[in-house]
Each structure stands twice: as C-alpha cells, then as structure tokens.
Structure 1
C-alpha cells in the first residue's frame, strides 16, 4: 500500500483521576478503542483515495481514565477505496499505528507527570 500521511492531529485528549466513590453510584467506565476511516475524496483519474483515520478511545486504568480522539489524513496512491471494509487487517493496523503511537507517547508523559512516578505504557 503506497501512501503519504499528513501530521497526526490530536482532536481531544482527556485525563481523569479515578473517583471510585462516584463510580459506585454511577457505574465503572469501560475501555473502548476503535479505529474508523472516513472517505474524504477519491480521484479515479489519478487513482488516489484520500481518507481520515480516526482513533476514538476511552481507556480505564487503575488510577485514571483517558479518553479522546486522534486523527490523520492519509493519501492512498494507486488505489481507489469505496468502503473501509476493503482494507485487510494488516492494512488497518498499518493505518492505525501512527495514531496509537501518539496515544502511547501522550499517555506515558501525562501519567508520569500526574502520578509523579514512571509513566504508564499502553500495549495494543
């Protein structure tokens, strides 16, 4: 898959310390991580597709919950995509990797500062 990527964009990143008393009354949050793809345009003459890869996440850890959205514009060359289901699992992983890397870096740094100890490594 031949592609070029724009810079990863952090739309939202939210860190909350866990409040176990509040969770007793309102329910414990659940981890959910999802990558979706939004078609921006396709140029059949140039055989190019432009899409946005979007990572939406809520990750529950022992001491905190992070949530947010991270995205990246991707330009596929020599390929027309009509629907995201056309991507193989390997291609989905390749498109999602830069988004996951930014999420890992941000979480490590924020948790290190917030908790005043070595940062938390996320594993996907």
Structure 2
C-alpha cells in the first residue's frame, strides 16, 4: 500500500500515579475515511483517511492515557469505510501512531521514575 502521511499529532499524553486498582488497559483505533468526491483536485483513485489511537495503559505504579492522530492519503485505493481495509492494511496504517506511544512512554517514564524507561512493544509477532 502506498501511503502519504502527514505529521502525527499528539492530542494528549498523561502520566498519572495509579490510585485506582480497578482501571484496565484499553486501546481504541479509529479509522475515518473522508468523502473527497467533491474535491476536484483530489485524485478519485486515492483516499484521505483520519487515524486516531485513544489509549489507557495501566501499570501497577502509573497509568498512561492519551490520544494520537494522523491524516494519511492512501494512493490507488478507494476506502469508504474501515471495513474496506484488512488487518494487515490497518496495522500498516496505524503502526507510526503506536511507535509514537512507545517513544513517549519510554521518554516520560525514564524521567518520571528516574530509571531506564518502560519499553512498550505493540508488535503482535
């Protein structure tokens, strides 16, 4: 898949002490294709897609919450709904957002805990 990416945007990133024992890890991926049919300059064979990852990652000592988003143009593929993508294509689209969460987590926990940072690994292999 040929993907042209805009810059990732960190909407929010929070590091909080875990004061609640009942919170659970939750990660949501949103895929929102835009209807570009009325835009004359936008190639009809391409798709503009908004990606967003909203997360709450719970550790014993702390909780990370936030959201990261990105706009991408998928070249030569018509995407009208998230269902038009298979799992491999979705993984390819959102991988940079998960890489950003991994990087932010490592850097912030290294500073907050004054020790080597926590290394997340979202790879499913």
TM-score after normalising by structure 2: 0.88
Residue matched to 1:121: 119
Residue matched to 1:61: 59
Q: Which runs of 5+ in 1 are unaligned?
A: none
Cα distance in 1 for partners of 2:114, 2:92 equals 33
Instruction: Name segments (4+ residues, structure 1) moved above 2 Å.
Output: 40-46
Query: Whose helix fraction is larger, Structure 1's or Structure 2's?
Result: 1
Residue matched to 2:69: 71
TM-score after normalising by structure 1: 0.89
Match of 1:96 among 82, 94, 97: 94
Q: Which runs of 5+ in 2 are unaligned?
A: none
Q: What is the root-mean-square deviation of aligned Cα atoms in Å? A: 1.4
Residue matched to 1:31: 25
Cα distance in 2 for partners of 1:46, 1:85 equals 19
The answer to whether 1:86 aligns with 2:84 is yes
Match of 1:40 among 27, 34, 41: 34
Cα distance in 2 for partners of 1:75, 1:45 equals 10
The size of the alignment, in residue pairs, is 118
Deviation at 1:36, TM superposition (A): 1.2
Cα distance in 1 for partners of 2:90, 2:43 equals 25
